[in-house]
Structure 1
Amino acid sequence: MILLQANQIARLFGADVLFKNIQLEIADHSRIGLVGRNGAGKSTLLKIIAGLEAPDEGQIAKNKTATMGYLAQDTGLASDATVWDEMLEAFAEVRQMESRLRMLEQHIADAQDHTSDAYTRLLKEYDQLQHDFTEKNGYGYETEIRSVLHGFQFDESFYEQAINTLSGGQKTRLALARMLLQKPDILILDEPTNHLDIETLAWLENYLQNYNGALLIVSHDRYFLDKVVSEIYELSRHRMRHYKGNYSRYLDLKAEQLQSEWKAYEKQQQEINKLEDFVARNLVRASTTKRAQSRRKQLEKMERMDRPQGDEKSAHFLFDIDKPSGNVVCQLENGAIGYDEEVLAAPIDLDIRRQDAIALVGPNGIGKSTLLKSLIGALPLLQGEVHLGTNVSIGYYDQGQADLNSRKTILSELWDEHPTTPEVTIRNVLGGFLFSGEDVDKPIALLSGGEKARVALAKLAMNKENFLILDEPTNHLDIDNKEVLENALIDYQGTLLFVSHDRYFINRIASKVIELSEDGSKLYLGDYDYYLEKKREEAEIAAMLADSDNSQPSAPSTGKQTFQQSKEQQKILRSLQRKVAEVEDNLATIEETLHNLEKAMAEPDVLEDHVRLTDLNSQLEAAQSQQESLLEQWETFSLELEEYQG
């Protein structure tokens, strides 16, 4: 069933067109992702669809019985009520039904004449109301509230807190929680993943996958879109295109479509050239004039294809370094972070080596940004001392762009820090970040979040430091510019430590993951997928051990295990032993590779060939780095094996 249709929608600003001829259809159970560049008009279109703004052209046709919920990005819940009372408001109708049921029960109990028509009407109303009450989860709505609040990281200690005393991020999460509890037939969400940590994002994905209504979502989180949506509408160059499938499928279909359009366009261009050539050669010849005129009419009637347009202009930049650091970049042993003697996380151990790319993950409020600021000296550690290696120079990206001067223009923001650099060089750098011509004279104060992010990244690129510490660098960037940033960081020859909630970004960039918790830091030697796999294994082992402990008799142990307990423990033991053996095999292989490379580099003809020697040395350094990573894995697995056997 069709719930809503947008027909020929346009938004105009005088002669300027934001978008035009927009067609969009929402059916029940639709899972729609709306994508496009920052400034393309996605949020404006959502407001028009939600009925908050009127279109300049076209119309919105909505099913009269369908309910709609719209949540703008970064919308905080404004209320003087407590968290629990505000969530109850989502079930106002159900609670009214509940009150009516209690009243009817009292009337039925007080009735004297059970044969009267009035009594029969009471029973009939009660039966119908009880059926409706059950259909609307009347007996489970409080459990549902607790489940959703728990998913958004609100435990029972928050239930009686007044909403107006909470932080902005908490109010935003509560606004989304209440919207989910209301369960509208059409749920429209503009950037719902803002302010959510990775654990909450995973919960929200699972919740939305099972949502009964239709979804229309704007998001720059590619991982989220792949998990939740099943069709994509792309808003680009003032028009809309529709693709079936999730975000990854959309990218494939878009590439295929562009290739097909180019083939058709080139084929038509060849035909046009052929006809024009025939007309030019034969129009003046008496014997062929009629045929030439016929070809000319054919040309005039031909509906000419527009030249296919590829992706819109993206930023293009690199992060260079002035000089490399030593192998040891940053170390911290037994560190603690927090405020006013209140410890957020401890003990924290870091051993960051040259060309590491480390993602720092953990729940909101655990102190990830605090740790980054402590490493650069902006905040004191409660315990421990940071040791930087030789020639280490730090570049820091602040997620709030606090280091940008709102009174300066874009050009002066960079030029004032590099006064000896020619203006043309500064402009070229800014051009790589999509600031050109008069754009560079815009005041920082008037820039959007995405524009400020690009200015901050431009400053970072100008400084050429060898250790980049980045706090949420993908915030405010659209998907295309995220990919440009990813490619620049992949090619970066320095060292990276970054905080991000963008799981796709982490997976592309990180070679290691450090998880921060109240119990301190824990290192995982792989990308985000490897981290998830290890977390699942840890959860399974913990569950097995818990089951084993729970199955022990309350009487004093005789030292004998049940067959099932022994079987589970042997399974865990074999898994750990297999991993240790696998790493040892890989170490043996890499050691042989190192031996062969060192032997080759010692050959007289190689020593005289600078190019070949440089190439072999690069291979040697890569192999040594791989060996170091394998040794760390071996130590981790061996320690787990020893602890389990012990």
Structure 2
Amino acid sequence: MISINNLTFEIGSRALYDEASWHIKPGDKVGLIGANGTGKSTLLRLIVGEYKPTAGSISMAKDIKLGYLNQDLLSYHSDKSIVHVAMEAFERQNQLHGEIEELLAKLESDYSDDILNKLSDKQTEFEALDGYNIEFRAHEILAGLGFSEEEQRRPLATFSGGWRMRVMLARILLQAPDILLLDEPTNHMDLPSIKWLENYLQAFEGAIIVVSHDRYFLDRVIKKTVESRKGKLTLYAGNYSFYLEEKELRNELQANQFKNQQAKIKQEERLIERFRAKASKAKMAQSRIKALDRMEKIDDVDDDNPSVNFSFKFSKPSGRHVVTLKNISKSYPNLEILNDTSAIIEKGDKIALIGANGKGKSTLLRIVAGADTVYEGTSEHGHNVSQTFFAQHQLEALHLENSIIAELQAFAPKQTETELRSILGCFLFTGDDAFKKIKVLSGGEKSRVALAKALTADANFLVLDEPTNHLDMQSVNILIQALQQFEGTLIVVSHDRYFLDHVANKIWFIEDKEIKEYPGTYEEYEEWNAKRSPRTSSKGDKKPKAVKEEPVKVAKAPSDDTFKLIAKKNKELTKLEEEIASKEVQVKDLEVALATEEVFSNAVKLQEATRNYNSAKAELTQMQASWETLAEEIMDLEA
């Protein structure tokens, strides 16, 4: 189907792939895995022809149809309804539909046989291509991915990035390609949509290559695993769990071979050293030296799964009740999230807050953290609770001029540089990376720095919103180990089921506008939930057919009224940002004035300048707090 032969691809002086080979067969369902930076996404671009190999070849049949989902599709813009954007997949059917409409219009004034014959031919082809069902199929796929009938009539341009990506996925699935190339398809998806996609891909008859850091998703979808590592592609004949077991066996075999070879080399070197000075044995010594040079060296096994070598430190334990929520009600225009609900977080709880997008997870998390104060009821922190809150929007709190290591040192002065660099190494910042300025980092890198900061806080209560975003599997595993060692309390929102299953000992979910609790692990919750609601079970015996899968009603996208409110608040946010920028300049000027000799040498002027500076500084702090509250309101509305 696709043949990759001796592929070499260089970026500058670095060879991302070095004579790598791989043959993809019809019906293969393959997970392409590897650490960040090993070229997984690049390989997909090479396959579709966006990049050209430095050497080697990628060959495939001319008539093969590729469906490629990547994050660049977020930039696609259209004012058409999302159902019509999805229906763009049916290129020939849409063309025939237009031609049929033109012929029908001509038929009103021209009843010639030529027009009638053309119309008949077009209609026959249209029917053969199942053209009369394409709109139904588009509605079906979009419903499975979480869009209501009303939302399907809304323009693509009115949806946020995550929802637009789902539309792009729907369009690709409707193309019924021979091979699907999916780069992180579960990004921006909630759990119900992920499960729907799993069922769809299990029934998909073509080949699939998927890049994902979601190991549960991989285990349920793929039949083979290909690891991209050190410029090579290594095939494992099973899913991700099989890969882990098989790699461990291969590593054990390689380690033994390396050990035996090293023993043999040392033995040969001792013989050479003993006899090379003797004239009668010099020829034999030279022969052994040449044999050693020709020997194909076996590499030692690299440790791809480093262990956590730091521990959480907090100066005082919390009381028994960490957070007490009483009679909480929270709503937005046209949307009620919580209604008179109560719950308690107790010391030692490790809570996973789960559910579909739009059900209020992030809102509830901010109420727990005290970041949202506009609600009815009370949220109280208990005795000695010290908290740190990790959320994606808090990346803006990073100091852009700091180096990464300086940012952590300022936040956690009690930690040694060795401890901080160890933490940074866990999150893919090694060597001189620690001295990079925050301002040159990508969004994903900033997210990892912010998460590293959260792990160094003197906090006995962690509030984590999607902490595994932008982390590869090794880093997720490090985070799991760290949180398993954490002796305090935590609550986390995440769509990574493996992460949740290994971290949480309680599950919270929002149902009927109330906080419900399941006292167990995520896997136990899934089994319990499947028994009480078999229709939504992801573990049913029957697999759905691709395309004809009965849609599962999942998350609701925001309504038109909500989008009008979002637009209004965005204008307010922009205006506030301009005011903050102006106020920052004023504060800076007042700061400079305080340092002038004319002011600091005159007690009256110094008193007045200090008063003005403190007043402006307080106004700036208030404006920044208002900006954060407004930004959070917008995020809630977009969720």
Would the alpha carbon gap of residues 445 and 301 (structure 1) be closer, same or farther in structure 2, given more than 3 Å must change? closer
Post-superposition offset of 1:516: 1.5
Does the 8 A contact of 1:363 with 1:517 survive in 2?
no
Does the 8 A contact of 2:309 with 2:422 survive in 1?
no
Answer 1 or 2: higher relative contact order, Cα 8 Å, separation at least 6: 2
TM-score, length basis structure 2: 0.76
Q: Does 1:538 align with 2:532?
A: yes
User: C-alpha distance in 1, partners of 2:507/2:385?
Assistant: 21
Post-superposition offset of 1:73: 2.3
Does the 8 A contact of 2:182 with 2:209 survive in 1?
yes
Equivalent residue number for residue 603 of structure 1? none
**1:176-208 deviation line (CA, Å, top 9, x unaligned):** 111111122222111110110000000001111
What does 1:22-41 correspond to in 2, within 5 Å? 22-41=20-39
Q: Does 1:186 align with 2:179?
A: yes
**1:264-316 deviation line (CA, Å, top 9, x unaligned):** 12222222222333333344557766655554443343323233333276875
Which residue identity lines up with residue 225 of structure 2 in the other structure?
Answer: I
What does 1:584-595 correspond to in 2, within 5 Å? none
Equivalent residue number for residue 258 of structure 2? 265
Does the 8 A contact of 1:258 with 1:310 survive in 2?
no
Equivalent residue number for residue 238 of structure 2? 245
Equivalent residue number for residue 344 of structure 1? 337
Post-superposition offset of 1:121: 8.3
Post-superposition offset of 1:341: 8.4
* Percent pairwise identity: 38
Q: Does 1:89 align with 2:88?
A: yes
User: C-alpha distance in 2, partners of 1:112/1:78?
Assistant: 41
What does 1:147-546 correspond to in 2, within 5 Å? 147-284=140-277, 292=285, 294-311=287-304, 316-339=309-332, 342-400=335-393, 401-418=395-412, 426-427=420-421, 429-431=423-425, 433-540=427-534
Does the 8 A contact of 1:334 with 1:383 survive in 2?
yes
Equivalent residue number for residue 630 of structure 2? none
**1:132-191 deviation line (CA, Å, top 9, x unaligned):** 656644343222112111111101111221111112221111111111111222221111
User: C-alpha distance in 2, partners of 1:408/1:105?
Assistant: 68
Residues 412-421 or 39-48, more deviating = 412-421
Which residue identity lines up with residue 52 of structure 2 in the other structure?
Answer: A
Which residue identity lines up with residue 271 of structure 1 in the other structure?
Answer: K
**1:555-599 deviation line (CA, Å, top 9, x unaligned):** xxxxxxxxxxxxxxxxxxxxxxxxxxxxxxxxxxxxxxxxxxxxx
Would the alpha carbon gap of residues 540 and 272 (structure 1) be closer, same or farther in structure 2, given more than 3 Å must change? closer
Would the alpha carbon gap of residues 171 and 111 (structure 1) be closer, same or farther in structure 2, given more than 3 Å must change? closer
Post-superposition offset of 1:33: 1.1
Does the 8 A contact of 1:336 with 1:381 survive in 2?
no
Q: Does 1:80 align with 2:85?
A: no
SS at match of 2:73: coil
Equivalent residue number for residue 56 of structure 2? 58
Residues 336-345 or 168-177, more deviating = 336-345
SS at match of 1:386: strand
Residues 147-156 or 50-59, more deviating = 50-59
**1:209-260 deviation line (CA, Å, top 9, x unaligned):** 1112221111100100111111112112233222111111111111111111
Post-superposition offset of 1:30: 1.5
Does the 8 A contact of 1:338 with 1:367 survive in 2?
no
Would the alpha carbon gap of residues 88 and 301 (structure 1) be closer, same or farther in structure 2, given more than 3 Å must change? closer
Would the alpha carbon gap of residues 457 and 313 (structure 1) be closer, same or farther in structure 2, given more than 3 Å must change? same
Would the alpha carbon gap of residues 314 and 138 (structure 1) be closer, same or farther in structure 2, given more than 3 Å must change? farther
Post-superposition offset of 1:28: 1.7
User: C-alpha distance in 1, partners of 2:226/2:104?
Assistant: 51
User: C-alpha distance in 1, partners of 2:180/2:480?
Assistant: 31
Post-superposition offset of 1:502: 0.5
Flag structure 1 segments of 5+ consecutive residues without an equivalent.
544-646
Does the 8 A contact of 1:318 with 1:461 survive in 2?
no
User: C-alpha distance in 2, partners of 1:221/1:227?
Assistant: 10
User: C-alpha distance in 2, partners of 1:431/1:180?
Assistant: 39
Figure out how many residues of one structure are paired with residues of the other and give that number.
535
Would the alpha carbon gap of residues 139 and 228 (structure 1) be closer, same or farther in structure 2, given more than 3 Å must change? same
Which residue identity lines up with residue 150 of structure 2 in the other structure?
Answer: S
SS at match of 2:339: strand
User: C-alpha distance in 1, partners of 2:138/2:497?
Assistant: 27
Would the alpha carbon gap of residues 96 and 337 (structure 1) be closer, same or farther in structure 2, given more than 3 Å must change? same
SS at match of 2:3: strand
Which residue identity lines up with residue 341 of structure 2 in the other structure?
Answer: I
User: C-alpha distance in 2, partners of 1:207/1:536?
Assistant: 19
SS at match of 1:334: strand
Which residue identity lines up with residue 463 of structure 1 in the other structure?
Answer: A
Residues 413-422 or 483-492, more deviating = 413-422
Which residue identity lines up with residue 173 of structure 1 in the other structure?
Answer: R
SS at match of 1:257: helix
Report the aligned-residue RMSD: 3.3
Does the 8 A contact of 2:306 with 2:478 survive in 1?
no
Does the 8 A contact of 2:268 with 2:288 survive in 1?
yes
Post-superposition offset of 1:492: 0.7
SS at match of 2:131: coil
